[in-house]
Structure 1
């Protein structure tokens, strides 16, 4: 099992946000940046899968059943026991919980949202996350019921100017290719 010092800071921050702020949108942002910068590496699919776990929770909490089921289904194809264990997690427990959530929501759109805990089995990783939370004034295990509505609806307030500009540029590039 790895020691916490060998885990990427983005992953530690992801875990801290995941369990303390429940800001799944921020979890996505933190790990997406790392994932994009480390394409083709051993854990590329795992980073992507963990992003999808957070995005699925974000969707489920907001009532977007189809989005949650889609994200969790995709995550379950990317996440593997050996890679999750490399990242200090109880892979079997996590994958079982994720599959149960996905299946329950897929069969019943009224299946209620509950916070998910990622089962950290590396005590050094857990301690590092707890320390980061304490430094930031966060409380590990904060329930979503204590989270500000702005966090739950984060997509409504984010700055999308870079995304819009990139899409505009892609359209222009395609137009140039056709000419």
Structure 2
């Protein structure tokens, strides 16, 4: 996966905190691969974004299910975390998140980004800032606007519905 796509994903996840958009970005990248399976690292990232989306909205069951699926996927098909911009303790961070999901109210996760990707993200977002200043900036971000938090309910579904209908028509023609 190209660094640009990962940085786009992490910008949406960490800075904009638009977990729904993260899911969309990573799913698109995953499906553009010549060969893709449900065991790919991109699916792990999709599930983490989905878990955070549900958690923030108070859907603890959905968050728990997504985290469990992500962690099971990693256990069954481990990958080099740093290759995808994650720190070596990322799995532990997500396991702790899952463990506390029913006991701790949602707060923005301190995302386990590798140092390399942290610096690349800082260069993208705040090139004039020091890494320390950028860390403080990130730590103080809290996106709670309705459009971002409840994006799947607030977006225009017409294109998705039209695409599904077209797909169904194409499928019926093939049969």
TM (normalized to structure 2)? 0.78
Q: Unmatched 5+ residue regions in structure 2?
A: 128-133
Structure 2 distance, partners of 1:73, 1:47, is 16
Structure 1 distance, partners of 2:51, 2:158, is 24
Matches within 5 A, 1:11-50: 11-38=6-33, 40=35, 45-50=40-45
Q: 1:159 aligns with which of 156, 159, 175?
A: 156
Q: Does 1:115 align with 2:108?
A: yes
Structure 1 distance, partners of 2:140, 2:114, is 19
Structure 2 distance, partners of 1:140, 1:98, is 18
Q: 1:61 to 1:162 in 2, by over 3 A?
A: same
Q: 2:138 aligns with which of 130, 137, 140?
A: 140
Task: Report the equivalent of 1:3.
Answer: none
Structure 2 distance, partners of 1:121, 1:43, is 24
Structure 2 distance, partners of 1:29, 1:95, is 22
Q: Larger relative contact order (C-alpha < 8 A, sep ≥ 6)?
A: 1
Q: 1:36 to 1:47 in 2, by over 3 A?
A: same
CA contact (8 A) 2:71 2:95 kept: yes
- In the TM superposition, what is the alpha-carbon distance from 1:52 to its structure 2 partner? 1.0
CA contact (8 A) 1:20 1:141 kept: no
Structure 2 distance, partners of 1:41, 1:8, is 18
Task: Report the equivalent of 1:9.
Answer: 4
Q: Unmatched 5+ residue regions in structure 1?
A: 1-5
Structure 2 distance, partners of 1:115, 1:101, is 11
Matches within 5 A, 1:118-133: 118-123=111-116, 125-133=117-125
Task: Report the equivalent of 1:72.
Answer: 67
TM (normalized to structure 1)? 0.77
CA contact (8 A) 2:47 2:67 kept: yes
Kindly report the root-mean-square deviation, in angstroms, between the aligned alpha carbons of the 2 structures. Answer: 2.8
Q: Does 1:57 align with 2:49?
A: no
